[in-house]
Structure 1
Amino acid sequence: MPSSKVWLITGSNTGLGLELALKALKEGDKVIAAMRTPSKCPPFLKDNANVSILPFDLSWTQDTITSAMKTAVDAFGHIDILVNNAGYAYLGAIEESTDEETKTQFEINVFGVLRTIRAALPYLRAQRSGTIVNLSSVGGFHSFPANGLYCATKFALEGITEALAAEVSPFGIRALIVEPGYFRTAFLANPTAGMNVTTPIKDYDGTTAHEAAANIEKYNGKQLGNPVLGAQRIWEVVRGEGMAKGKKELLRLPLGSDCGTMMRGYAEDLRETADEYEEIWRSTDFVE
């Protein structure tokens, strides 16, 4: 069994973040449980000697997040794995969105993650090791009606992580994109609690945008993904254990049959597009 590792997991009081924290603890690792409201921390985390609770908010400034990162590192002396899990969704048709809410969506899901990565990297570079895990989504490569802005933040996160992976590999640091499909967490239980919702435009009634928004809450409890198993697979891929033992260290980790199926469909769509327009895209080069 590899030696114990220290995980910093944002949004670790619910959902996949919580299940990943529990999996890490079960395997003998230590966890820095970062959360916006520590008073909502489950007792079984709060009372564990291998857990350090860290007040943390993605809306904080770079200086404040950098200070929080030092507190996190001081808890166990170092950090091995940073998991950027926290985030939320802004639900509604593109036309219904506002600049203010859209900026807040990107502020939390993209800029907050960037600030966290910047705060962690000096420590990871100094020790010449570590893993940065960024939680994307099936919505990181396939956008959906009524969820376009949330998906846009995940598209952005994928682009950032792909570049980051190449930039930090010389320091022995790995970057991993995790792409969960729909998992049976509380995320869909009450859209107005976990998401901001646009003010509807009546003309969209009966269209895909409003039908998709209406169906989100109905889908709660019917998601294919098991968060306990999803967390287990993330832990195994990061640690190179279990089902991941002997497998290549790739940039992306799809989770859930829905995500894997859509990924294959997306790859086929790209292939079809490249084939259909080959004459066109080849025609635009200089002929030297």
Structure 2
Amino acid sequence: MTPRVWHITGANTGLGLELVLKVLNEGDQVVAAVRSPSKVPDSLKVDGVKVLQYDLTLSQEEMQAYAEKAFAAFGRVDVLVNNAGYAYMGTIEETEDAQVRTQFDINVFGILRTIRAFLPHFRAQAPSPSTPGSGTILNLSSIGGYRSYPSNGIYCATKFALEAITEALAAEIAPFGLTAVAVEPGYFRTSFLSGVSGGAGSGNLAPPMAVYEGTVAHSARKHMLEVDGKQPGNPVEAAARIWEFVVGEGLCKGKERRGRLPLGSDAGMEMRRVGDELVETARVYERVWRSTDYRE
């Protein structure tokens, strides 16, 4: 079987790093896309890994040039994993417009630019029948992609947007034999919250407004800081499930590949609750929504 080539952004830390290590252990190759190549750990300085400097703030023209390098590294890319991103937290009123724009530029527009740059190459090379999973785009969403939380509305909004983009993209690229999937992790024990846990002024946490003290919003803010390092999810297991999902092995063997992949017991249970709420809302308001159609 031909080894797959994975392109993984944010490959030097957290879930991205664990996925690189899993992919390498399975005999595949990786284009490790990182913002600071000097900070790449020794575990990535091995055969089968090509480290490229990558930044989600690249313009579309710069991203096109980057994609050329990425596909040239091993001659192809089979799986694109859009993993890099960050969280800007605070109540809606506390957040600042410039920070919100930056959050969306990184978590949404940067991924859009990446996808646009990679798609022509994916279509040109065509999925390989001898390489299960070839032609897959994985967009790392979140439990916050289908449930928004107090003091986390802006970050969740970027993930809601990514969910919508992924769902439309999946339908658009299916005729070319390509696949797009939203991966939805819950809380995993990585360094993702470390930038936030630096406190107000760290850049990722909006300065608090006293009026919200004692409310659910600031309770949620405090919980997010306190949970860092205690998250229930194991990133090693998450990486294993992602690999299995793409190639159709392990716990995913024989399962229909769907457009969303929840990871973590918290993510799965929350997905069930959201689904139940939608069904119940449709039931409660059925006479209302049916009453608004033309009677023709």
Given the two structures, how large is their TM-score scaled by the length of structure 1? 0.97
Deviation at 1:191, TM superposition (A): 1.3
Structure 1 unaligned spans of 5+:
none
What letter corresponds to residue 244 of structure 2 in structure 1? E
Give deviations 1:17-54, integer Å, cap 9, x for gaps. 000000000000000000101111011202x1200001
46, 53, 56: which one aligns with 1:55:
53
CA distance, structure 1, for counterparts of residue 62 and residue 145 of structure 2: 28
Deviation at 1:3, TM superposition (A): 2.9
Task: Give the corresponding residue for 2:188.
Answer: 183
**Native 8 Å contact 1:88 1:195 kept in 2:** no
Q: Are 1:157 and 2:156 counterparts?
A: no
Task: Give the corresponding residue for 2:242.
Answer: 234
What letter corresponds to residue 156 of structure 1 in structure 2? A
What letter corresponds to residue 240 of structure 2 in structure 1? Q
Distance 1:98 1:190, change over 3 A: closer
136, 139, 149: which one aligns with 2:141:
136
Task: Give the corresponding residue for 2:34.
Answer: 35
Task: Give the corresponding residue for 2:132.
Answer: none
Deviation at 1:211, TM superposition (A): 1.3
What letter corresponds to residue 56 of structure 1 in structure 2? Y
Task: Give the corresponding residue for 2:122.
Answer: 124
Deviation at 1:189, TM superposition (A): 3.4
**Native 8 Å contact 1:89 1:195 kept in 2:** no
Secondary structure of 2:64's counterpart equals helix
**Native 8 Å contact 1:91 1:195 kept in 2:** no
Deviation at 1:132, TM superposition (A): 0.3
What letter corresponds to residue 66 of structure 1 in structure 2? Q
Given the two structures, how large is their TM-score scaled by the length of structure 2? 0.95
What letter corresponds to residue 152 of structure 1 in structure 2? A
Deviation at 1:176, TM superposition (A): 0.8
Task: Give the corresponding residue for 1:200.
Answer: 208
Task: Give the corresponding residue for 1:250.
Answer: 258
Q: Are 1:269 and 2:280 counterparts?
A: no
CA distance, structure 1, for counterparts of residue 82 and residue 94 of structure 2: 28
Distance 1:262 1:56, change over 3 A: same
Percentage of pairs with the same residue: 58
CA distance, structure 1, for counterparts of residue 225 and residue 157 of structure 2: 21
Distance 1:195 1:134, change over 3 A: farther
CA distance, structure 1, for counterparts of residue 69 and residue 148 of structure 2: 37
Deviation at 1:128, TM superposition (A): 2.2
Deviation at 1:65, TM superposition (A): 1.2
CA distance, structure 2, for counterparts of residue 106 and residue 195 of structure 1: 15
Runs of 4+ in 1 over 3 A off after TM superposition: 192-195
Structure 2 unaligned spans of 5+:
128-134
Secondary structure of 1:254's counterpart equals strand
CA distance, structure 2, for counterparts of residue 57 and residue 144 of structure 1: 28
What letter corresponds to residue 240 of structure 1 in structure 2? G
**Native 8 Å contact 2:195 2:204 kept in 1:** no
